[in-house]
Structure 1
Amino acid sequence: MKKLGLASALLLAMTGAQAYQVEVQGQSEYIDNTVNSKNFTGAVQGTYYFKNVDSSKGPLAEAAFLNQASNASLAYNYGEYDVNGIADQNTHTIGAKAEAYVPTKYVPVYASASYSNTIIDNKDHKADDHGDRFSVELGAVVAPNFLVALGYTSAPNQVAYDAFGILANGVAQAAQEQQTIGKDQDAITARTKYVGAIDGTNMAIGFETNALFAEKNAYGLKTDLYINPALSVGASYAQANGAVNNKEAWGVNANYFITPAVAVGVDYVNVNATNNAKTDTQTVGVNAKFRF
């Protein structure tokens, strides 16, 4: 009976559950530099929501945001990066994060805290590296489905990636941001997020902006068109004035929920180096999500 119950629960999750409390996602990116096309990353993240998330309210990809679902997450990222004359290294980044939405009589208040730890295993006779990164945010849902948040990030070691940023925005933007904050160690962050229905259609639109202010600054913009609750296409742009070589990146992506519990996606990012042709970069990524 226990086996039958487990099989039934799994079948329900695979074929169309409208509520979930756990999400597991995986991602891998192939990195093509001008002088090396053998680089790649792999990442996994698990998120637990403290209450069931109703995925019937709008775009499936934004169910947790639309529900203002408080949660806790763990993430791990692995990368192999080898560019002749610049770096030959394996990178491990682990992270923990918590997000909370607290209702008030005025507006829902948002708060988050995260920690990431990066270990770089250098293969080219350089010393190995090890860095920590701490971040906190405080904000509010100032209008329906419109979040505004300010934060503070500290990265005492210059090589400290955001484990969750890699999964959310890709390794290219995460590297830009890491190089920018590495110039100062401390930074102020700001971001906004909005998801809204397009009147008279089954479609929706989403926008995200983010900024990081340190000795140098970094900016990002992402937009997604939800053609229906299951299918979306999007575009992104990022600029990092503090990045050593790759200051601008643009990308496109597509994501599809095969069922309300299972999703797959692809993305492409192009980064043009400003002063070192070796680091001209293109990335192609694939990802998958499973909810139950």
Structure 2
Amino acid sequence: MKKLGLATALLLAMTGAQAYQVEVQGQSEYIDTTANDKDFTGGLQGTYYLKDVDSSKGPLAEAAFLNQASNVSVAYTYGEDGQEFGDRTVHHTFGVKGEAYIPTQVVPAYASASYSHTIADNKAGNPDGNGDRYALELGAFAAPNFLVAVGYTSVADQTALDAFNVMANGVVKSVGETATIGQDQDAITARTKYVGAIDGTNMAIGFESGLVYGDDTAYNLGTTLFVTPKLSVGASYAESSFAGTPDSAWGANVNYFITPAVAVGASYVNANAEQLALDTQTVGVNAKFRF
């Protein structure tokens, strides 16, 4: 009976269950830079929603946001950088995060807290690095499906990355953001997010923006067109005033839900450095599984 129940649950997930409570995501990026050789990353994230998420309305990719679904997540990312036969370092980042959507008499409120720890394992015999990163965020829905949030981030060591930023936005943006915060260690963040239907169609549009203010300043902009509830295409742009990273980067992505429970996607980022040999291109793939 246990085997039959497991098989039934798997079949429902694969063929189109309209509600889910767990999401597992995996991703990997190949990185081509003028400074390093054959870099790549990989990562896994698991999210548990406190209540079932209804994915029957709106874009499948944004079901949790549209449902204002409180959740807890864990993530792990792996990355390598450095010359193939030189000073090569392997990075392991572990993270835990909680998001809460809170109904109030005025507008829905939002809060999140996260912690990430990075271990930088140097393969050339140089000292290893360890770093912690904490983030808090508070926000509210200024209009239906329109979130405005501000936050505080503490990066105790510049080794530390945000595991969830790597999973959501890729390694170029994540590394650039950490470098932008710099030795200041503390940073103020702000972001907005909106998802809305396009009248008279089954399409929807999404917009996101973000700002990080530390030793230097970085911002990012993104838009996504949900051609159907299953298919989306997006574009993004990011810029940093810190001279030690690429000055700007643009990206494109596409994601498709094979069923309401299984999705695959691909991404591309092109980052340009004006003063240093840090031009970078990344190609990424990802997959999601919901049940």
- Which TM-score tier does this pair reach, normalised by the shorter chain? over 0.9
Question: CA, structure 1 residues 127+236, in 2 after alignment: closer, same or farther (shift >3 Å)?
Answer: same
Instruction: List aligned pairs for 1:40-189, cutoff 5 A.
Output: 40-83=40-83, 88-189=88-189
**Structure 2 residue aligned with 1:286:** 285
CA distance in 1, matches of 2:164, 2:9: 29
1:205–1:225 CA contact under 8 A, matched in 2: yes
CA distance in 2, matches of 1:113, 1:87: 34
1:176–1:243 CA contact under 8 A, matched in 2: no
Residue 7 of structure 2 aligns to a residue whose secondary structure is helix
CA distance in 1, matches of 2:72, 2:103: 18
CA distance in 2, matches of 1:127, 1:79: 17
Question: CA, structure 1 residues 11+243, in 2 after alignment: closer, same or farther (shift >3 Å)?
Answer: farther
Moved over 3 A (4+): 83-87
Larger CA deviation: 126-135 vs 70-79: 126-135
Report the CA distance between 1:86 and its aligned residue. 9.3
Question: CA, structure 1 residues 83+37, in 2 after alignment: closer, same or farther (shift >3 Å)?
Answer: closer
1:109–1:141 CA contact under 8 A, matched in 2: yes
Deviations 1:85-112 (A, max 9, x none): 9952100000000000010111011000
CA distance in 1, matches of 2:241, 2:180: 7
* Paired amino acid for 1:52: D
Deviations 1:122-159 (A, max 9, x none): 22343111100000000001110000000000011122
**Structure 1 residue aligned with 2:275:** 275
Are residues 1:260 and 2:264 paired? no
CA RMSD of aligned residues (A): 1.4
Larger CA deviation: 243-252 vs 220-229: 243-252
1:183–1:242 CA contact under 8 A, matched in 2: no
Residue 64 of structure 1 aligns to a residue whose secondary structure is helix
CA distance in 2, matches of 1:40, 1:156: 25
CA distance in 1, matches of 2:212, 2:231: 30
* Paired amino acid for 2:283: V
* Paired amino acid for 1:232: S
Which runs of 5 or more structure 2 residues have no equivalent in the other structure? none
CA distance in 2, matches of 1:210, 1:283: 21
* Paired amino acid for 2:290: R
* Paired amino acid for 1:282: Q
Residue 104 of structure 1 aligns to a residue whose secondary structure is coil
CA distance in 2, matches of 1:187, 1:250: 23
**Structure 2 residue aligned with 1:192:** 192
Report the CA distance between 1:280 and its aligned residue. 1.5
Percent of paired sites with the same residue:
68
Question: CA, structure 1 residues 55+154, in 2 after alignment: closer, same or farther (shift >3 Å)?
Answer: same
Report the CA distance between 1:273 and its aligned residue. 1.9
Question: CA, structure 1 residues 121+185, in 2 after alignment: closer, same or farther (shift >3 Å)?
Answer: same
Report the CA distance between 1:52 and its aligned residue. 0.1
1:179–1:243 CA contact under 8 A, matched in 2: no
2:93–2:119 CA contact under 8 A, matched in 1: yes
TM-score (norm. length: structure 1): 0.97
Deviations 1:168-224 (A, max 9, x none): 100000010010112310000000000000011110000010101112111011110
* Paired amino acid for 2:285: V
**Structure 2 residue aligned with 1:26:** 26
Larger CA deviation: 237-246 vs 126-135: 237-246
Are residues 1:13 and 2:10 paired? no
**Structure 2 residue aligned with 1:38:** 38
CA distance in 1, matches of 2:2, 2:290: 21
Residue 38 of structure 2 aligns to a residue whose secondary structure is strand
Residue 183 of structure 1 aligns to a residue whose secondary structure is helix
Which runs of 5 or more structure 1 residues have no equivalent in the other structure? none
2:272–2:280 CA contact under 8 A, matched in 1: yes
